[in-house]
Structure 1
Amino acid sequence: MSKAEWENNEEIKIFREYLRIPTVHPNIDYTACVEFLKRQAASLDLPVDVEYPVNEANPVVIMKWLGKQPELPGIILNSHTDVVPVFPEKWTHDPFTADLDDEGRIYARGSQDMKCVGAQYLAAIRALKATGYQPKRTVYLTFVPDEEAGGFFGMREFIKGDYFKSLNVGLSLDEGSSSLDDSYYVYFAERTGWHIRFKISGTAGHGSLLLPNTAGEKLNYIVNKMMGFRASQVQQLKDNTRLFFGDVTTVNLTQLTGGVQRNVVPAMLEVVFDLRIGIDVDLVAFEQQIRDWCEEAGGGIEIVFEQKDEYIPPTKVDASNPYWTAFEKALNELNLKFRTHVCPGNTDSRFLRSVGIPALGFSPMNNTPILLHDHDEYIRADTYLHGIKVYTKLIAAVADV
């Protein structure tokens, strides 16, 4: 297709309109977004509700496509409406004008993460309804806030309410990520997120002295142990090219604070690590190992878990899960290459899995640079349109299980 054809494509127009709504952190105003989604629901002749699980600043928009057997557990097509902050000076295109270049690249914050998926759901349902198709199971489209800030004002609280429980959800589809080759990623699990702050106390005094048991010495020990463990995970990836980032534990030093003056040995230093722990790690044993390192360092170290997620069982991707069987069959019938992985980051799928609902993460973007949260985020128009065809097949497949 040419640039003119892409620009005049009705689905591309709708997608670009969605991208132009700046639902960007911090201090998001979702008003325009909610109105856009209500218009989309009206165009599809779908009833729409707006729920506020936490407060009126964080709306959840729910569209309902009634199934022929509504007593069966339904299907959620979930996407988040918020996007991460931008540094406009780092972009070659305005991040909220959805510029389309001659190569068909649509530049905008949210083009990959994940307004593309939310708009593709709408387009796929439009295509299915145009054929007269009605799903066996009721299909819900949920557009949730706050995912990029942790989901605590969105999906986490939404699933606790009576409204969500009344939906009787059997499966959730949510975001994945782009891939660099011709295969697609399907995420069936997420690692366990821990953010650990080490508050390290030690002997304070004059900077000219070699004082014993200082906070600096203990800090050095802890950092060496944590970074040594990090190096072991890097080596695993090097040694086994079949491993994905989500298959190992990531450890990153993210904050380092302390000290009052250049010539004063501090009484306290603090260091924070971001850990995403592999699904095969014994969490109890791992925490004990970290506590043992603190004692080996000389004691006097307080561990504060600023985030300590529980282990959440993966979604089964085998014959025991009929939704997966249908999903897999649809991908095969489309002759698409795909690989199942543990998601490297966190998505709202973890909240669904935590209450026993199977959840799959999938974004139909292959042969595409991974630009989630990056400058000049874009998706190609032909990739976007192909994704609509993929979802048209997938949605019908899981809705008819």
Structure 2
Amino acid sequence: MSVQEWESNEEIAIFREYLRIPTVQPDVDYTACVEFLRRQAGSLNLPVDVVYPALPSKPAVIIKWLGKQPELPSIVLNSHMDVVPVFPDEWTHDPFSAHMDTEGRIYARGSQDMKSVGTQYLGAIRALKASGYQPKRTVYLTYVPDEEVGGDLGMRELVKSDYFKKMNVGFSLDEGISSEDETYSVFYAERTLWYLRLKFSGTAGHGSLLLPNTAGERFNYVLNKIMEFRKSQVQRLADDSSLDIGDVTAVNLTQLRGGVQSNVVPPLLEAVFDIRIALSVDVVEFERQIRDWCQEAGGGIELDFEMKCPFVEPTKIDASNPFWLPFKMALKELGLKTRVKVFPAGTDSFFIREVGIPALGFSPINNTPVLLHNHDEYLRVDSYLHGIEVYKKLIPAVADV
């Protein structure tokens, strides 16, 4: 396709319009986004509801495509409306201009994460409806707020609502991550997320003394233990090329606080760790290990979990999940090479799986640098349009189970 053909393509125009809506965290105003999605639902002649599971400022837009057998459990095609902050000076083009260059790269925040998926669903359904197709199961397109800040006021509350329960969801698709090679990644689980604050108490006094049992000594002991464990996970990745980052436990020191003056030994130091626990690790045993290290350091250490997500069972990727084999077969029939992985970070699929609904993460993007949350995030026109073709195959595959 030429630049002129790209410019006049209806699906590309819709995608770029969506990208130009600056639903950027924090304090997102979703008004324009909701209006855009209402218009898209109207163009497809599909009913749309806007619900507010948490706050009036946090809407969830739900578009319904009625199935021929609506009594069957439904399919959810989920995406989030919000995007992460930008540093405009670091971008080659305005991050909310959806600039398209002569190579067909569309630069915009959200082009990969994940407004592309949200409008690819729409493009696929537009084509399927035009062909006369109607799904067996009802299909819901859900556009939720605040995923980029944890989803607490978005999907977490939506799945608890009476509205969601009436949707009778049997299976969900959500975002994945682009692949830099020819393969496509399919995510069936997420690691368990903890934000752990350790508070180290100890003897305070003058900085000229060698006081016993200081907060610094206790911090040093525990930090060394945690970093030794971290090193073991790095080594696992180095030793086994079949492992991805989602297969090991990630531990990172992210915040340090304490002290009042350079010559005063402080009575308290605090350290915050971002911990993503691998599926193979027993979370109860892992917490016990951390507590044991704190006792070995001499005690006086408080564990304060700023976030402590529970372990959530992975989605089954075998015949026991009736949606898995049709999903897998559809990708195979398209000739796509796939890799099944554990998602390294967090998505709204966590909350879907938490209430017992199988969910897969998938973004139909390959041979593309991973630029989510990065400067100059972009998606190529050919990748975007190919993604619509992929969903034209995937949606019937799971909706007709």
TM-score normalised per structure 1: 0.99
Mapped to 1, the partners of 2:37 and 2:394 lie a distance apart of 22
Query: Does 1:86 find its partner at 2:63?
Result: no
Q: Which runs of 5+ in 1 are unaligned?
A: none
Deviation at 1:77, TM superposition (A): 0.2
Mapped to 1, the partners of 2:26 and 2:256 lie a distance apart of 24
Question: Which amino acid counterpart does residue 238 of structure 1 have in structure 2?
Answer: A
Mapped to 2, the partners of 1:179 and 1:226 lie a distance apart of 31
Superposed, 1:286-365 pairs within 5 Å as: 286-365=286-365
Mapped to 1, the partners of 2:397 and 2:200 lie a distance apart of 54
Mapped to 2, the partners of 1:391 and 1:44 lie a distance apart of 16
Deviation per CA, 1:77-99, whole angstroms, max 9, x where unpaired?
00000000111111111110000
Deviation at 1:321, TM superposition (A): 1.1
Once the two structures are overlaid, the 10-residue window that deviates more, 205-214 or 35-44, is 205-214
Deviation at 1:4, TM superposition (A): 1.8
Identity %: 71
Extract structure 1 runs of 4+ deviating beyond 4 A: none
Query: Does 1:393 find its partner at 2:393?
Result: yes
Mapped to 1, the partners of 2:4 and 2:200 lie a distance apart of 61
Question: Which amino acid counterpart does residue 115 of structure 1 have in structure 2?
Answer: K
Query: Does 1:216 find its partner at 2:219?
Result: no
Query: Does 1:148 find its partner at 2:164?
Result: no
Deviation at 1:3, TM superposition (A): 1.8
Superposed, 1:112-127 pairs within 5 Å as: 112-127=112-127
Question: Which amino acid counterpart does residue 6 of structure 1 have in structure 2?
Answer: W
Q: Which runs of 5+ in 2 are unaligned?
A: none
Question: Which amino acid counterpart does residue 150 of structure 2 have in structure 1?
Answer: G
Superposed, 1:1-400 pairs within 5 Å as: 1-400=1-400
- Residue aligned with 2:287, SS: helix
Mapped to 2, the partners of 1:96 and 1:220 lie a distance apart of 45
Mapped to 2, the partners of 1:100 and 1:297 lie a distance apart of 57
Question: Which amino acid counterpart does residue 102 of structure 2 have in structure 1?
Answer: D
Question: Which amino acid counterpart does residue 115 of structure 2 have in structure 1?
Answer: K
- Residue aligned with 1:322, SS: coil
- Residue aligned with 2:160, SS: coil
Mapped to 2, the partners of 1:103 and 1:265 lie a distance apart of 59
Mapped to 2, the partners of 1:382 and 1:270 lie a distance apart of 49
Mapped to 2, the partners of 1:120 and 1:223 lie a distance apart of 45
Mapped to 1, the partners of 2:44 and 2:346 lie a distance apart of 31
- Residue aligned with 1:288, SS: helix
Mapped to 1, the partners of 2:32 and 2:223 lie a distance apart of 46
Mapped to 1, the partners of 2:2 and 2:236 lie a distance apart of 45
Deviation at 1:50, TM superposition (A): 0.3
- Residue aligned with 1:386, SS: helix
Question: Which amino acid counterpart does residue 233 of structure 2 have in structure 1?
Answer: Q
Mapped to 2, the partners of 1:75 and 1:269 lie a distance apart of 49
Deviation per CA, 1:219-252, whole angstroms, max 9, x where unpaired?
1111111111111000000000110110000001
Question: Which amino acid counterpart does residue 119 of structure 2 have in structure 1?
Answer: A
Mapped to 2, the partners of 1:331 and 1:228 lie a distance apart of 41
Mapped to 2, the partners of 1:171 and 1:264 lie a distance apart of 58
Deviation at 1:298, TM superposition (A): 1.2
Deviation at 1:333, TM superposition (A): 0.4
Question: Which amino acid counterpart does residue 198 of structure 1 have in structure 2?
Answer: L
Q: How many residues align?
A: 401
Deviation per CA, 1:336-371, whole angstroms, max 9, x where unpaired?
000110000100001010111000000000011001
Mapped to 2, the partners of 1:4 and 1:255 lie a distance apart of 50
- Residue aligned with 1:78, SS: strand
Mapped to 2, the partners of 1:95 and 1:356 lie a distance apart of 37
Question: Which amino acid counterpart does residue 202 of structure 1 have in structure 2?
Answer: G
Question: Which amino acid counterpart does residue 335 of structure 2 have in structure 1?
Answer: N
Deviation at 1:374, TM superposition (A): 0.6
Deviation at 1:7, TM superposition (A): 1.4
- Residue aligned with 1:235, SS: helix
Q: Over the residues paired in the alignment, what is the CA RMSD in angstroms?
A: 0.6
Deviation per CA, 1:138-179, whole angstroms, max 9, x where unpaired?
000000001000000000000111100000000000000001
Mapped to 2, the partners of 1:3 and 1:251 lie a distance apart of 45
